Structure 1
Amino acid sequence: MTTPTTPANPPAPAVTPYRSQLASARAGFPQLLRAEWTKLRTVSRWGATLLAAVVVTVLVSLLSAYSGSSSFSGNRSAPPVGPDGTVVSDNFPFVHQPLTGDGSITARVSPFTGREGSIAPWAKAGIMIKESTKPGAPYVAAMITQGHGVRLQSNFTHDIAGGATNDDEPHWLRLTRSGDELTAYESADGKDWNKVGTAKLTGLPRTAQAGLFVATPGQVRVERQFGSTSVGSEPAEVTASFDHLTVDGGQGGWLQDDIGEVLPEGSEETQGATEKSTEKSGTWTLTGSGDIGPFTPETDLTQQSLSGAQIGLIPLAALGVLFITAEYRRGMIRTTLTASPRRGRVLAAKAVVLAGAAFVAGLVAAVLSFLLSEPALREKAPNPLFHPEAALTDGPVLQAVVGTAVLLAAVAVLALAAGALLRNTAAAITLIVILLVLPVLLLSGLPLDTANWVMKLTPLAGFAVQRTLPEYAHTDDICLPEDGCYPQGPWTGLAVLCAYAALALGLAIWRLRRRDV
């Protein structure tokens, strides 16, 4: 019988390598998000900071709406309303005659002459086919302007650019009607014609009014010095002559009407028109003021109702900084990075959680600020007709409210990145406040061009998303930084702030990966 032998060195039993359950739990990005969310919601003072951001934003907005003197000026009568419901300026001298059915009007328009030789760039003179002489009635106009060449404008808000004009030479214009379509042409000599464009007036009656007009916005003077800005205006007046005038399809003689209000000479208002219309040997000479175009309110009520966000961002900036510097101060960052060695993902998870919480808090704050403040601001307006009621579901309002929440979330992420880079709570919070609050205090003391560049290129640009007033290329409104007027579009401004936040976060991730804890 053979006895089995035992090997001198038996093989060791297989052992499963130990893996930290903590590291395994946090290996994936969803697990990192859960861990960072747990940190945020379990620290009571951080939740209190989110609540403080909401309360501060709403309270500051309410104080701005209810306290202080009204920022509105003037006591205007009921404004005319255009075909699409937009409040408009429609004030000018109109020499016209009925045009029945299809037809055309042609005229040669002389260069402008103005009071004391000063002529506004959007002074305009030309030919028009208008539904009626009622202010706000639909129209199409072919015109020359002082500083913007030939234009085809219709229904106050639509504008098509034509060719350039010579300020020393007359220019020919023609406007033809074919049903509801009206087409404008221009010519330097009355022989070679170029098409400017076509506009459609749906529902234009068979008999409309075809004629001549002249108008010019008022002269505006802006004087700026540190701490104050003075804006003054006075009526302007221009003269233009019309000859070689023909109307194909016209009926009857020429009529003279004043469209809109006529203001006394020297009035401080610029919404009316003063005019003189004379005819000699077939040449009409029109002198007038006023304007034809969209009316832009002086104050953006929605933007003002959200003004508390400029102060409400401070608690969120503090939270963003503390969300990372608290871990450094207590030494917890070593535990976090040991459990999750991929440092970039840790900071990215913090940014996502913080941005989500800040967005929700910002959205609540913006909704409450608008609903509570906007009605109070409307009541302070001398004529609410210039400031129609706005609903939360209106496109521009929704853009401003949601955009404010995105803005606050971006500020929180920017603050997080600053905290990760500086690792000093006080220094990081101070930096964010300097970037976003200090420029607001300094804008009124800067030259206008410099102030506009500050609003374009700094994180302050993000507040442009709160502006809801429409902007038109064919108007010459005064855009002052202290009035909350931004030189760029709403989403462009917000994109600038988000770019700062993304760049700072990327830099913070890069530094975190390359230095010791």
Structure 2
Amino acid sequence: MTPALHAEWTKLRTVAAPRWLLLGSIAATVALSAAVTSVVTCTSAGCGGDVTRLSLIGVQIGQAPVAVLAVLVIAGEYGTGMIRTTLTATPHRITALAAKAVVLTGSVAAAGTVAVLGSLLAGRLTLPGRGFTDAHGHPALSLADGPTLRAATGSILYLILIALFSLGVATVLRDSATGIGVVLGLLYLFPVLAQVIGDPHWQRPLQRIGPSVGLAVQATGDVRGLPIGPWAGLGVTAGWAAATLTAAALLLHIRDA
């Protein structure tokens, strides 16, 4: 396993695309969060708003570069034919896939931590100036607050799970363009359909089954009113990741390179 990890880490750090995608994820996450928190206002005591979730809204777009990176980690090798070299160097195919998953997890965890902390810092700095103050019932954002810490930690875990989900999809499809299209479609289609469909009979299931429902972990207020609980939502995302990785491992084992 160690040689396979070293090989995957070498490939990831010596190619420009992964670095730019990780930096892009950080920049997109923090920029969107900062933009949103700089325009919202709270003009009176008791004004609504989940300031933690608001500060972490950038994760919704920051997940896209993470998904693209995860797809390219293996689908890119199928496109260039390098997958044959990888599997020759690591004949045990499940080990090769596991090594990619471990290196991807570490990289996304590091980038996700920077992105999430940057977003919370942006919210802490800008929200008081927009009226979200103690006087209005909104204390400054702090990781010492249990729900905020859970939202921050959960957001990082969510990005990791999206990366693993995307890796699994890409391994099954073996094509970069198709993999990216399928992953981004699944991530963003369910929330859009849930908004478009007005019938609660169909709307609620759509709000509870997509891979992006793990973003519910960011909620810190009115949790009981959510279509799905914070940790339950993250569990659904984990289920998508586990299912695609299981299918990926099976197909990688039985198919020709």
Q: TM-score, normalised by structure 1?
A: 0.47
CA pair 412-380 structure 1, distance change in 2 beyond 3 A: same
Give the match for residue 239 of structure 1: none
Q: Map 1:360-439; keep pairs closer than 5 Å.
A: 360-381=110-131, 384-439=135-190
Q: 1:497 aligned to 218, 232, 237, which one?
A: 237
2:68 aligned with 1:318: yes
Contact 1:301 1:374 in 2 (8 A): no
Distance 1:422 1:370 in 2: 36
Unmatched segments (≥5 aa) in structure 2: none
Q: Could you tell me how far apart the structure 2 residues matched to 1:339 and 1:419 are?
A: 21
CA contact (8 A) 1:305 1:369 kept: yes
Q: Establish whether residue 464 from structure 1 lines up as the match of residue 216 from structure 2.
A: yes
Deviation at 1:470, TM superposition (A): 5.3
1:432 shift after superposition: 1.3
Identical-pair percentage: 38
Question: 1:449 Cα shift?
Answer: 4.3
CA change 1:471–1:53 in 2 (3 A) is: closer
Larger radius of gyration between Structure 1 and Structure 2: 1
* Distance of 1:442 and 1:329 partners within structure 2: 32
Q: 1:448 to 1:510 in 2, by over 3 A?
A: same
Aligned-partner Cα distance in 2 for 1:443–1:64: 22
Equivalence for 1:48:
20
Q: Could you tell me whether the CA contact under 8 Å between 2:132 and 2:139 is conserved in 1? A: no
**3-state SS in 2 of match to 1:468:** coil
Contact preservation (8 Å) 2:123, 2:141: no
**2:103 matches 1:353:** yes
CA contact (8 A) 2:74 2:171 kept: yes
Quick check: 1:450 aligned with 2:190?
no
> Which of the numbers 235, 253, 256 marks the counterpart of 1:513?
253
Q: Structure 1 residues 471 and 406 mapped into 2: Cα distance closer, same or farther (>3 Å)?
A: closer
Higher mean displacement: 449-458 or 362-371: 449-458
Instruction: Tell me, yes or no, if the aligned pair for 2:79 and 2:176 is still in contact at 8 Å.
Output: no
Which of 8, 11, 27 in structure 2 is aligned with 1:39? 11
Are 2:55 and 1:305 aligned?
Answer: yes
CA RMSD of aligned residues (A): 1.9
Q: Distance in 1 between matches of 2:71 and 2:111?
A: 17
Cα distance in 2, alignment partners of residues 352 and 378 from structure 1: 39
Partner of 1:285: none
Distance in 1, Cα, partners of 2:125 & 2:240: 34
Letter in structure 1 aligned against 2:4: L
Could you say what secondary structure the match of 2:205 adopts? helix
1:376 is displaced (CA, Å) by 2.2
Matched residue SS, 2:144 = coil
Distance in 1 (CA, whole Å) between partners of 2:67 and 2:107 is 13
Higher helix share: 2
1:61 lines up with 2:15 in the alignment: no
Separation (CA, whole Å) in 2 of partners of 1:471 and 1:515: 45
| 1:442 CA displacement | 3.3
Cα–Cα, structure 1 residues 381 and 435, in superposed 2: closer, same or farther, change >3 Å?
farther
Q: Secondary structure at the residue paired with 1:387?
A: coil
* Aligned length in residues: 255
Structure 1: which 5+ residue stretches go unaligned? 1-28, 80-296, 473-478, 480-485
Structure with the higher fraction of residues in strand conformation = 1
**TM-score (norm. length: structure 2):** 0.92
Deviations 1:225-277 (A, max 9, x none): xxxxxxxxxxxxxxxxxxxxxxxxxxxxxxxxxxxxxxxxxxxxxxxxxxxxx
**TM superposition shift of 1:396:** 1.2
Using CA pairs under 8 Å that are at least 6 residues apart, name the structure with larger relative contact order, 1 or 2: 2
Measured in 2, the distance between the counterparts of 1:308 and 1:336 equals 35
Residue 51 of structure 2 aligns with an amino acid whose one-letter code is: L
1:92-131 aligned at under 5 Å gives the runs none
